[in-house]
Structure 1
Amino acid sequence: MPHANATKRRDGTIIGVNYGLLGNNLPPPKEVIKLITKKGIQGVRIYEPNHEVLEALRGTGLIVAVGVKHVDLPDLAGSTEAANKWIQANYVPYYEDVFIEYISVGNEAIPGPYAKYVFPAMQNLDASFRAAGLYESVHISTTVSSQVLANSYPPSNAIFAYNSAYYMNEITKFLGTNEFPLMINVYPYFALDADPKNVGLKYAIFESETPVFYDQGLPYYNLYAAMIDAFVAAMWKPTEGRPVDIVVAETGWPSADARRRDSKIIGINYGLLGDNLPPPKEAIKLVMEKGIQGVRIDEPNHEVLEALRGTGLIISVGVKNVDLAEIAGSKEAANKWIQTNYVPYYEDVFIEYISVGNEAIPGPNAEYVFPAMQNLDASFRAAGLYESVHISTTVSTKVLSNSHTPSKAIFAYDSAYYMNEIAKFLDSNSFPLMINVYPFFAMYADPSYNTLNYAIFGSETPVFYDQGLPYYNLYEATVDAFVAAMWEPTEGRPIDIVVAETGWPSAEKGTTPRYTRYPIETYLYALFNENLKPEGVEQNFGNFYPSMEPVYPLCDTVGLDMKWEARNVPTSPGRLHRLCEYICAKLLTIYSRVFFLLFLIISNFMQVSFAH
């Protein structure tokens, strides 16, 4: 029997809103639904059948789209019994007074590891709705992004991509036969961000007053319309020209680019070389309590990744140097690495970076880095996860030559072959280069050239000029040396930089004289003192003891409102005490997107290092 409100389906333009629940500070569902109805919004989409939300929707008359979670797709694809159970649990208790019009079987599951389950799950749910006499009550669909498309410019040339076509052709026929719509996510913002050279701002934000281009005689004024029509064209062949309705499930424009450039993000390196460290769950709890927003781990430790589920932290995961040769040797090894270390976590652990090796260049593993990057990139693409991560590698200043004057820096003879290829790869994919920058070590190696004030941001006037650009500190000069070294292999095209490890950063601007594109992401080093590292100073880089007491006084919160304690700052020698005070004062003024991998040298290390 059709739902009493079924006549609402296509009688007018419906504007709805996506109601996500990934936050620990959100108002209760009843208040949210009250706000939605007050604002005159007509529909709500939820990504899973949250019963508290569905209860709040009773009697509102809102048109509702309910998602099926990816983790449920294999069961639903495997049996109609599982589909019956899902309907009885998540639809039947609400269908009389909650107008659930759409069931989205997965959200951007194609392409990806769950892609093969989507269509059979749709079929089983459809059969179960029919058997229950609810055939006309809902539309069974799935939600896809433009990742399922290829040749999407101009729109009339669009087809389904090779890694999606098999699934999408079957789904499109199913939708056409049943007069169900395809649900699509359309984000002009991401298209602009990925290709700003070819996607103009006015074209992306509906400001072009004249057609930007014509396609088969049709004028296109904005990217939004072109993206939708690309889906229309891609469905033309499998449906033999019969039109399939479209529902735009998601679209919008961010008020701030919190993920990539404009935010003030603080992260930390989480090392595990200790036999007295707290369990990962406690460590991640500490990270969260301190307001740290990102974590970098040198290898895909599964216990740590489990502890990171649902935290919302931005994560960088390293590929161990010892694994590089195998991954470089075959795509099967790359596929296995992704299936083992990424796929089980990607839905609720925000892994933004994969660092293929840490300081592997120069060295015995250098030859494996680039082919390993290529194989991992190909595997991510084949799995439909191309836009999910940034593939990079982490290098130190050992790959540079002539770096005292930033503009003259080039890649060193033992690194240039590898780094030139990597720089081109990063450029072509808009991936960043991850670098380790330690002004302290540079000063210690050459104190006559790299003075203390230059190394610790103590100079109030430029130490030198390079091509008219003033340099006040060694940190900026080091970063800009990497920028200059990449200039030739990328033919002058800038590459984003992530500072993977550093110490003593004062990122008041978040940029450098030469690198002015965006605030630089910076990871400071490290979370704990790790007693299984090489004996000596290497064991003393942590900001916390294994007891989770602060070593150096890490601020109560590492956001902008930093509060530092002074009890652990050594009182002698006097120069060391002033140095610690200076570092703390500088960090108090941090303004940048910093992925802090915290590296504050503790007192015994600094006393030894500065004794002479």
Structure 2
Amino acid sequence: MERGFRLILAASLMLMLLDLCRGSTIGVCYGRNADDLPTPDKAAQLVQQHNIKYVRIYDSNIQVFKAFANTGIELMIGIPNSDLLPFAQFQSNADSWLKNNILPYYPSTKITYITVGAEATEVNSTSLVVPAMQNVFTALRKAGLHKKIKVSTTHSLGVLSRSFPPSAGAFNSSFASFLKPLLIFLAENKSPFMVDIYPYYAFRDSPNNVSLDYALFESSSEVIDPNTGLLYTNMFDAQIDALYFALAALNFRTIKIMVTETGWPSKGSPKETAATPDNAQTYNTNLIRHVINDTGTPAKPGEELDVYIFSLFNENRKPGLDSERNWGLFYPDKTSVYNLDFSGRGSVDVITGANITNTNGTTWCIASSNASDRVLQSALDWACGPGNVDCSPIQPSQPCYEPDTLVSHASYAFNSFYQQNGASDVACSFGGLGVRVDKNPSYDKCLYMTTGSNKTLSTNATAIPTTSHSLAGKVHTSKSSWTFMISFLLFLAIDSIRGW
């Protein structure tokens, strides 16, 4: 009876956690319109090095598929506009493409989305998109993959006839014959409405109406939507909400929005004065923080939003102004164009030396020495897994491996989780295994993090700012710490059940 009750409780908690612990995702677009880029395997290594979990490519390149095989990285792949006609004309073309280009590499290459065409309203190919999408979906259904791989298409913001104020957002009526069947398809198949959003262009093309700070998520003032009273502090949110209102106006309230491109160029033509490394760093850093915190938008507070940053590399063959070739986070030699906090958590201060006294209220979280090895091991496994803690410093030959004890390793992991989640009481509970202390546990070269740059420590040692290079997708830090504790307790419950 007791065992059955625990199983039911565990199942109930699991269902609740599936709903609560889903988080927004951040990915990167891997465009290859250049003649000086590293090979796909080198690009995949770079992506893995920075813990990027979501990548968008614009075709179904076999070499890219092979490079990302068995990495766990989720790929959004594309069917270019130039290939829409054969896909729209005959089902057999979609079937053959899936059989020859996708199935040989799936699921070792983790494909989760297929974009059929890109910004079709900009290139007058709208009549082909939905028929091609339907044929691709049918091919997936025949293969039993229609629930695992979602089909959609991407749009520019030009699909709207009006975007301000956000509550007046409306689709361009000239696209009605294209949009109606498209939205029906998306709603029926629970696929997202994909859009490319660039506040950079809004500022560049209308600097008298859009402030730079508003475009960069840096505005100290608010723009009021007169129809709803909602307050907007950045253009990104305003553009997202304009789309949500446009969808609602057509009674498609269940369709989620996914941002398949956004970013900021680091260099531009002489008249593109806002295209600088500083502005690119500011925009993307603020964007990442805004997204992974599940901030949502004024009209959709807390709404999850999946976003892809454009792009992985600068692409020297793209036509147009200089900015078109300078959207990359990395140069082709794989060095960073500018420093970017991929985690969105801000800088973390750590210090060298031991026996350092805390003078400003900073606290750390360590493992209780009274905990049993079995429970402590379970807690450590959870922190390094679902808890999203980087546990590489406690691996063999790394600075925090010695002393090789459960208490020492768990203390490092507990503190990392504690600091990443606001240094709250709940974040250090670990079911009673965590203990808050006001003395820095750092020793030798093993450095325990603190929360944010506002946590400075009094020390004669050198302060070393560090950041986590994680662009992980389903980021859990966006949820309140009690959700983590429920997840942890569920982990313990399942571990106990497994041990019966």
TM-score, normalized by the shorter chain, greater than 0.5? yes
One-letter amino acid matched to 1:385: L
Report the counterpart of residue 469 of structure 1 in structure 2. Answer: 230
Report the counterpart of residue 325 of structure 2 in structure 1. Answer: 539
Report the counterpart of residue 526 of structure 1 in structure 2. Answer: 311
TM-score, normalised on structure 2? Answer: 0.60
One-letter amino acid matched to 1:324: L
3-state SS in 2 of match to 1:415: helix
Report the counterpart of residue 27 of structure 2 in structure 1. Answer: 267
Q: Does the aligned pair in 1 maintain the 2:56–2:76 contact within 8 Å?
A: yes
Q: Does the aligned pair in 1 maintain the 2:51–2:470 contact within 8 Å?
A: no
Q: Does the aligned pair in 1 maintain the 2:37–2:333 contact within 8 Å?
A: yes
One-letter amino acid matched to 2:228: Q
Q: Does the aligned pair in 2 maintain the 1:257–1:263 contact within 8 Å?
A: no
Q: Distance in 1 between matches of 2:147 and 2:312?
A: 29
- Give the share of equivalent positions with the same residue, in percent: 34
Are residues 345 and 510 of structure 1, via their aligned partners in 2, closer, same or farther at CA, if it must alter by over 3 Å? farther
Question: Deviation digits for residues 534-559 of structure 1, max 9, x if unmatched?
Answer: 1522111111111111111234xx23
Q: 1:271-350 counterparts in 2 under 5 A?
A: 271-350=31-110
3-state SS in 2 of match to 1:268: strand
Are residues 287 and 254 of structure 1, via their aligned partners in 2, closer, same or farther at CA, if it must alter by over 3 Å? farther
Are residues 560 and 517 of structure 1, via their aligned partners in 2, closer, same or farther at CA, if it must alter by over 3 Å? closer
Residue of structure 1 aligned with 2:340, choices 531, 554, 558: 554
Are residues 422 and 590 of structure 1, via their aligned partners in 2, closer, same or farther at CA, if it must alter by over 3 Å? farther
Report the counterpart of residue 248 of structure 1 in structure 2. Answer: none
Residue of structure 2 aligned with 1:360, choices 97, 102, 120: 120
Are residues 470 and 383 of structure 1, via their aligned partners in 2, closer, same or farther at CA, if it must alter by over 3 Å? same
3-state SS in 1 of match to 2:337: coil
Question: Deviation digits for residues 399-428 of structure 1, max 9, x if unmatched?
Answer: 101111111111113323212221121111
Post-superposition offset of 1:380: 1.0
One-letter amino acid matched to 2:238: A
Q: Give the superposed CA RMSD.
A: 3.2
One-letter amino acid matched to 1:494: T
Report the counterpart of residue 446 of structure 1 in structure 2. Answer: 206
Q: Does the aligned pair in 2 maintain the 1:420–1:486 contact within 8 Å?
A: no
Report the counterpart of residue 257 of structure 2 in structure 1. Answer: 497
Report the counterpart of residue 483 of structure 1 in structure 2. Answer: 244
Post-superposition offset of 1:453: 2.1
Q: Distance in 2 between matches of 1:447 and 1:464?
A: 19
* The structure with more helix, counted as a fraction of residues: 2
One-letter amino acid matched to 2:144: G
Comparing 415-424 and 319-328, the one that deviates more: 415-424
TM-score, normalised on structure 1? Answer: 0.49
Residue of structure 2 aligned with 1:371, choices 121, 131, 146: 131
Aligned length in residues: 326
Report the counterpart of residue 512 of structure 1 in structure 2. Answer: 297
Post-superposition offset of 1:461: 3.4
Q: Distance in 2 between matches of 1:282 and 1:590?
A: 18
One-letter amino acid matched to 2:306: E
Q: Distance in 2 between matches of 1:304 and 1:291?
A: 17
Q: Distance in 2 between matches of 1:286 and 1:398?
A: 33
User: Unpaired runs of 5+ in structure 1?
Assistant: 1-13, 16-40, 42-187, 189-201, 208-251, 565-586, 596-612
One-letter amino acid matched to 2:61: N
Report the counterpart of residue 97 of structure 1 in structure 2. Answer: none
Q: Distance in 1 between matches of 2:93 and 2:152?
A: 18
Q: Distance in 2 between matches of 1:488 and 1:444?
A: 30
Are residues 433 and 351 of structure 1, via their aligned partners in 2, closer, same or farther at CA, if it must alter by over 3 Å? same
Are residues 286 and 562 of structure 1, via their aligned partners in 2, closer, same or farther at CA, if it must alter by over 3 Å? farther
One-letter amino acid matched to 2:87: I
3-state SS in 2 of match to 1:498: strand
Question: Deviation digits for residues 189-215 of structure 1, max 9, x if unmatched?
Answer: xxxxxxxxxxxxx9x9679xxxxxxxx
One-letter amino acid matched to 1:471: Y
Question: Deviation digits for residues 193-250 of structure 1, max 9, x if unmatched?
Answer: xxxxxxxxx9x9679xxxxxxxxxxxxxxxxxxxxxxxxxxxxxxxxxxxxxxxxxxx
Comparing 528-537 and 508-517, the one that deviates more: 508-517
Q: Does the aligned pair in 1 maintain the 2:171–2:246 contact within 8 Å?
A: yes
Are residues 300 and 592 of structure 1, via their aligned partners in 2, closer, same or farther at CA, if it must alter by over 3 Å? closer
Post-superposition offset of 1:344: 1.5
Q: Distance in 2 between matches of 1:352 and 1:540?
A: 28
Q: Distance in 1 between matches of 2:57 and 2:19?
A: 24
